[in-house]
Amino acid sequence: MSFAVTMGVTLTESVMGAIPIGLSLWFFSVVSTARIFELLAVVAATVSLSISIYSHVRPTPFLRRGAL
């Protein structure tokens, strides 16, 4: 459940970050609209997966005696 929530949050953040990039590519007619959606979908999914997997695979730090 935690992984799904993390994926949802990071995917939303990735899409929000990709919107200005897509708009600028569309405004300056660099590539077609369909190509922009394909490109940014791959980028958003890759960023979201990399953040979510790293946050769930890294070892949990445990406090040791006398660490505080």
* pLDDT, mean of each 10-residue run, the chain (68 residues): 91 93 93 93 93 83 66
Q: Which residues of 37-53 are buried (b: 16+ CB within 10 A; e: fewer)?
A: eeebeebbeebbeebbe
Locus of tokens 């959606």: 37
- 42 within domain boundaries: yes
- 22 within domain boundaries: yes
- 3 within domain boundaries: no
- Helix%, strand%, coil% for the chain, nearest 5: 75, 0, 25
What is the per-residue pLDDT for 21?
Answer: 93
What is the per-residue pLDDT for 68?
Answer: 56
- Whole-prediction pTM value? 0.73
Q: Which domain holds residue 43?
A: 8-56
- 67 within domain boundaries: no
Locus of tokens 């459940």: 1
What is the per-residue pLDDT for 57?
Answer: 83
- 64 within domain boundaries: no
- In the chain, the number of structural domains is 1
- 39 within domain boundaries: yes
- 65 within domain boundaries: no
